[in-house]
Amino acid sequence: MSDQVLAGRYRLEGRLGGGGMGTVWRAVDETLRRTVAVKEIVFPDVLTAEERRVATGRAQREARAAALIDHPGVITVHDVVIEDERPWIVMELVDGPSLAEVIRRDGPLAPAAAAGIGLKVLDALEAAHAKGIVHRDVKPGNVLLAGDGRVVLTDFGIASIDADPSLTRTGTFVGTPGYVAPERLRERPGGPESDLWSLGATLYAAVEGRAPFDRDTPMAVLGAVLTEEPAPPQRAGSLGPLLWYLLRKEPSTRPGAEEVRRVLRNVAAGLPSGLPSATPSATPSATPSGPPGAVTTPAPPGRRPSRIWIPVAASAAVVMVGALLAGSILMNGPDGEAEVSASARADASSPPASPEATPTPTPSEARLDLCGLVGHRQLKRLLPRGNPSVEKDQKSCGWTVSKRGFEITDLNRRTSDPPPASPAEAHNKFVGTRNATTPGTHVWGWPTIDVDHVKARKSGALPVSGIGDEAFAYTSTGLTKPMDISGVVFRVENTLIEVEHVYERGTASPGDARDAARLIARAVARA
């Protein structure tokens, strides 16, 4: 095919590359005597005549879409010809590889280099958005790195033009799995924020060397985009928080183009991201609940220490409370009224200390009486039998009563690692904890009270809605002793909390144990 001539003027010289949308050829425009790139649209054999007609219309629409945008970062389309009942798109030949080829050849990019490329792609996207065009297929393979330093966005073949919706193809998926925003997979309208999501996925691939939702099959990728969080980036540096924001599921919670540009400029210059200590863009209702900050993503935490407080003789259960909060905690009493623990009321009634005498504690320093997180009436409602005894330490507090109880633990203080400095760090720690919660056998115990080596079978993480910013549940069934656990792990901004209902089998049904654990988790999250 290297000597084929299209429309009497475009002589094909050699294949440059190809993909799902077609094959790209190097060609010579013999009329104007210039070298061009020609994209051959390849139709699957299973397409009907009507589907071929629609595909041809989409190719012609790509030419109109690109022609509307006068920007050096957008590919220039010269012509569209129909040959052999297939469309061929004639465009400028960019002398340079795609970002995907660079990643495959050289490996991941440094954050500053990726941010510099992202800035130029963002400029091209904004030029398109200003014309009412949403690209809808931003990915490393469609970002060309020209030898003259230009970054060129190509392949507007599935672009959506506000003024020309007649060729929208319904009933089929169009786009590249892993780079298509979740709202488009849910068949919701995709706007500029969808392109920004795809830009985030592209930059993630640039610094990590793989797509954020990389899986073995396309269907698994689509499912991960809809229901899972991306793996915490390990190489992104100060670019990491921006990636976390851009890849949020809900479009209204992603940063706007100006905020993205400001952060990319900082990272490209080798500076911290510059994300503020308040919400980063737009209005509070349209932004995440807290700042990601310029941080390095921590490694996922390892397995939790083998420790649960369980008295030997009484076969008792435990209530352990741990949290890192900087204000008074309210819990709903049995009648729904707000209830403040006695210690919290005493703290509130005390005169405030002088600012000069006592510095204001930071969230990582401030602590409440951990047992005071649950009011007396709330505790009696959950543990109606006996008078609970109290045990506590820096990160947890426990009540023990006969037969059953609850454990609430501050995961921020479980290890010697510093607490998360931002919601982004806490989210990554949550994802690591969830990924580590896999089905299998484990051993737990509390040697100091002569209860150890309780062999148990643990379930995997089960998603739970309506508790904090994100949550999952799990169960643990004792194999060597009749002790079971129903647990919930959830995040509220920077804080990670685990609730475990520990009980002797027979004192509560699995359903009641699960509901009780979620009741406590929901109440603490609201507080």
Tell me the catalytic residues: 137
Structure tokens at 491: 């995040």
Q: H or E stretch including 32?
A: none
Structure tokens at 11: 């002589």
Give the Cα separation of 337 and 357 in Å (integer).
36
Q: What are the residue ranges of helices labelled H in 337-455?
A: 342-349, 376-382, 423-436
Identify which of 476, 487, 489 has the alpha carbon closest to the alpha carbon of residue 432. 489
Q: H or E stretch including 102?
A: helix 99-106
Biggest CA-to-CA distance, the chain:
95
| Amino acid identity at 351 | P
Q: What angle do CA 309, 494, 200 make, to 5 degrees?
A: 130
Q: H or E stretch including 58?
A: helix 49-68
The annotation status of 39 as a binding-site residue, yes or no, is: yes
How many other β-carbons are positioned within 10 Å of the β-carbon of residue 477? 15
Phi-psi label, residue 521: left if phi above 0, alpha if psi -120 to 50, beta otherwise: alpha
C-beta of residue 197 within 8 angstroms of C-beta of residue 256: no
Give the Cα separation of 422 and 419 in Å (integer).
9
> Which amino acids are annotated as binding site for ATP, given as ranges?
39
Q: Which residues are annotated as a binding site?
A: 39
